[in-house]
Amino acid sequence: MNEFQRLELLIGDKIKTMMQKTVLILGLGGVGGYAAECLIRSGIGHLIIVDHDKIDITNLNRQLISNHSNIESSKIDEWEKRAKAINPKIKITKIKTFINEDNIDLLFKQNFDYLIDACDTVKTKKLVIKKCLEKKIKFISCMGTGNKFHPELLEIVDIRKTSYDPIAKILRKMVKDENIKGLIPVLYSKEKPLIKGQIGSTAFVPSVAGIMCANYIFKMIIEGKDEKNC
């Protein structure tokens, strides 16, 4: 008996493949946290987690790691402890910094197989997408999950097929203006944002988005298909 016995009943020896893979998760908020949780519980061998934030009381309604006893604690430190408590054999690499154009290479100096972009900064998303395409790294980028109520309207498509999402609109323009080629897989919601200005959130949409991003990577690993970005 082992912690992955129930998963092995479904994927067999492919659990060994999971244990050999490295995934980088950029952003450990409502989306990235659930993505991390699913990958940890699916036997991923190495997670590189990137976040500069501390846990805030406003995170309690949607972020898996948050509770009243760890407010003001570092998100990536808390995630390292949680990951090791679930799977003591997992390797965790922490990058505790805000990623921008000045230090984007910090990510790509790491050796990883897949990237989940769950950050909130549009400029950083642009940089990550272009770097992943350039280096032929398999990835998925999550669009906005704030101001939305319906997780059933989330889907994974190429960026060019998105609608109603303000972040996706900016990225579509970048792709068109710079004539960027290749598949750019994103998770987005077809739901129109409910309000403008300050961003509200539920526990449902970010969590489902994170699960779907992790599942996208999980399926590429166990199915051995490795969707091409170029």
Read off the pLDDT of residues 26-39 as tens digits, 9 standing for 90 and up: 999 999 999 999 99
**Overall number of domains in the chain:** 1
CA gap 157, 83 in Å, rounded: 30
From first CA to last CA, the distance across the chain in angstroms is 41
Nearest to 114 by CA among 4, 189, 213: 213
**Residue at 187 is within a domain:** yes
Give the CATH number, domain containing residue 24.
Answer: 3.40.50.720
Residue 147 identity: N
Q: How many CA atoms lie within 13 A of 8 on its CB side?
A: 9
**Residue at 16 is within a domain:** yes
Residue pair 68/55 in contact by the 8 Å Cβ criterion: no
| Per-residue pLDDT tens digits of the chain, which is 230 residues long | 789 999 999 999 999 999 999 999 999 999 999 999 999 999 999 999 999 999 999 999 999 999 999 999 999 999 999 999 999 999 999 999 999 999 999 999 999 999 999 999 999 999 999 999 999 999 999 999 999 999 999 999 999 999 989 999 999 999 999 999 999 999 999 998 887 678 899 999 999 999 999 999 999 999 986 544 43
Domain residues for the domain of 198 are 5-223
Read off the pLDDT of residues 102-113 as tens digits, 9 standing for 90 and up: 999 999 999 999
Read off the pLDDT of residues 45-77 as tens digits, 9 standing for 90 and up: 999 999 999 999 999 999 999 999 999 999 999
Cα separations (Å) of 42 from 23, 31, 47? 12, 17, 12
**Residue at 121 is within a domain:** yes
Nearest to 28 by CA among 105, 101, 94: 94
Q: Specify burial of residue 164 (Cβ count, 10 A radius: 0-12, 13-18, 19+).
A: middle
